[in-house]
Every structure is written in C-alpha cells, then in structure tokens.
Chain A
Amino acid sequence: MSASVIFIGGISSVFFGMGLLYLSIKITAMITARLTGKRKENLS
C-alpha cells in the first residue's frame, strides 16, 4: 500500500472515528434522556 493512500486514508479515518465518537456522545445523551424521562433538549 502506498504512503499517499495511507496518508489520505489515515487522516480521513481519524476524522471519521472522531465523528463516530461524537455520535456516541449524542447517542449517550439520547439514551440518558430516555432513561431519565427528560427532554433531549435539556441534555444537549
């Protein structure tokens, strides 16, 4: 595999991974809202 492919693929994958982490925080907030019966807007 060439270095340029790893370079571009690597950076974009890190951002994608962080996007996923962002998503997991949002999902966590949503589940918390469901479990506590609070409105989502109060959590985020």
Chain B
Amino acid sequence: MTSHLTSLVKTTGFVYLTPGIIVMWVIGLALIYLAIKKDYEPLLLLPIGFGILLANLPLSGLMTPEEGLLWKFYEYGIHWEIIPPIIFLGIGAFTDFGPLLANPRLIFLGAGAQAGVYITFFAAQAMGFDIMEAATIGIIGGADGPTTIFLASKIAPQLLGACAVAAYSYMAMVPIIQPPIMRLMTTEAERKIKMAKSRKVTKLEKILFPLVSTFLIILLVPASAPLISMLMLGNLFRESGVVERLKHAAQNELMNIVTIFLGVPIGATMNAEAFLQPKVIFIFVLGLCAFMISTATGILLAKLMNLFSTKKINPLLGAAGVSAVPMAARVVHKVGTEADKKNYLLMYAMGPNVAGVIGTVIAAGIFLTLLTS
C-alpha cells in the first residue's frame, strides 16, 4: 500500500519542485502582477509571465523538444522566424510615415540613438559575454521588442527569454527612464526650441515611400529583408486605401494572435536552470545602460546637428530615436510642454521614433550579416 502511494506521488510534479522553480514562479507571478496592476506592457508581459509558470511546472512536458505544445509554438513561430516579421506587418499597418517624410533630416536621430546598441555590445563583450550574446544584449538598447526577439532567436536563443523581458520591461518604463536623462542633457532654452512648421505630405508620396524604401534598404542590408519587407507591406496596406480589410487584419486580428503565440513560448524558454544565472542580472543591467546611452546619444546628435543647421532642432527629439513607439515620442512631447506649454512636439517626435524602428532593424541586420557570414 505504501509503495503504491509512493509511486503515485512520484507521478506528480510536487516531488520535483526545487527552490529555483519556486523563484521562477515568483518571477512569473511578478510579471503578471505588473501587467495587470501596473499596466506595464500587459499584452506581452502577461503571456510571458504565464509562460514562465508553465515552463516551471515539473513533468508538464510543454517544452519537450518535438513533443511539447509550447516547444512547437517556439520552434515554428519564433525559431522559424515567422512571428516577429508578422508583428512588423502589424507595426507597418499602424505606422504613419508622414512626419518622417515631412522632416527627413530627423531620420538621423533614429541612427544616433542606435549608438547605445553598439557601445553596450562592446561593453558586454568586455565583460565576458561571447560575441553573439553581446550583440543580443546590445540590441535591447534599440527598445524594440520584436527585433530583439528576432536577433536573439537567430544568434543567442539561450538569452531569448531574458532579453525579451528586459526589452519589453524597459519599453514600458520609458516614461520613468528617459525624462531625467533628457532634463540632464538639455538646457531649458533648448527644450523650448520650437520646430519649423512641417510641409504637407501627399497621399501619393505615402504610397510610394514603402515601395522605394523596400528596394533601397533590402539591397543595402539583405539580412533585414524579413522585417523590413513586412513593415513596408503593412504600411502599403495602410496607405493604399484599397485593402481596408487587410489593414485591419494586420493591425488587429493578426497582431493579437501572434502576440499570444509570441509571449507564451518566450516565457516558456525561461526555465529555472537556464534563467537563474548571474549573467541574467548583467543582461538586465547592460540592457538598461544600452537604453539610457541610446537616449543620450540621440540627444547629443540633435545638438550636433544644430551646430551645422540654421533651422534648429529641439534636442529632446533625439530621445525619440529609440524605437519604443509611440511611448518615446509622447515622453518627448511631455518634457517639451513642461518647458513651454505651447511647444507641441508630438508629431515631430514621431519622425525619429519611426526612424528608430528602422534603425534598430538595420542594426540587427548588420549584426546578423557580420556575425553569421
């Protein structure tokens, strides 16, 4: 009777519980709490948190290679690079490139804000991470979740969970992280600079832009093709005005479905053995540094451009060069109106903000090209 009872108990997950597993439950529950209670990127952090719980239930077999349900989601959705490009299709369908077309010089602020990616890459390598891991950690500085996932799944899948959570966490904390850096690096007079009025962008121009940029960018950085092609296709859906159903599907149904199949398997990659390592702490610290440096370098580039330009740029716009759309642009607007209530920067900030998305994709494409060729 006792032996039967012992055998029965051994078929349950309880006997395989470890302190590490309990810690992962706490982390998973903390993410779910932040999503529900604090509204921190709930669309991603909630499924990621639940995925962490599932991955740390012993004997569930959900991440067993070839068999587990979540393993299949991960393998065919993320490892096969299907989900991140589909998310970019949705982002493209949401994005209005009008502010960028109206103020093309602001594009370079999106490049300036990528400096944090490379500086952190260099720092991570100096701290002992291998070159693939360093690149994945650096890309967190772009503040672009799908691109971080895309790059991590290609070159450092062992860091996928930590890097994705770091990227989405920092994207949610843009209103906390960026304003002190913005205030520190600009004077009140600079924050009051009013931008020159933007020109009107025609519909034809908005239709032509995704076509022209697809050709040029993919010819330059072929490795960025999966993300850029989908981004521009989604944007063409939006601007053409003839495929409203496809535009809405890309913005809503498709985006919502892939968000579920992205978040849960990412959380499921975070089992106790893989996640509870000292290097994960370094990933979060370096990711935060990357994000802060990107904010600062964007602002510095705007100041540099002002030295050579008669039409002054409000340096706060440089902080929008990180990709967190539209949160970073909103933060720029908020800090700008603190200095001058009549200084409306939101539409101008959307330009570098959108450019930052493309800049991060290019940075990831360059990492892929250089590290895997």
Contact = CB atoms under 8 A, between A and B. Distances in A.
Interface of A: 1, 3-7, 9-11, 13-29, 31-32, 35-36, 43-44
Contacts of B119: 7
Given A10-B366, A26-B104, A4 B122 contact: yes
User: Closest 5 CB pairs between A and B?
Assistant: A17-B362, A18-B111, A24-B213, A25-B104, A3-B125
A32 to B, nearest CB: 5
B118 A11 contact: yes
Secondary structure type dominating chain A contacts: helix
A31 B370 contact: no
A18 B125 contact: no
Most buried by A among B101, B104, B221, B370: B104
A28 B101 contact: yes
A26 B209 CA distance: 9
Given A1-B370, A10-B366, A23-B216, A17 B111 contact: yes
Contacts of A9: 366, 370
Nearest to B114: A14
B122 A28 contact: no
Contacts of A27: 212, 216
Interface in B90-124: 100-101, 104-105, 107-108, 110-111, 114-115, 117-119, 121-122
B363 A21 contact: no
Contact of B371 (A1, A17, A20, A21): A1
20 contacts: A3-B125, A3-B131, A5-B370, A6-B370, A10-B366, A10-B370, A14-B366, A17-B362, A18-B108, A20-B216, A21-B358, A25-B100, A25-B107, A27-B212, A28-B208, A31-B208, A32-B202, A32-B204, A35-B204, A43-B205
Interface in B205-237: 205, 208-209, 212-213, 215-217, 220-221
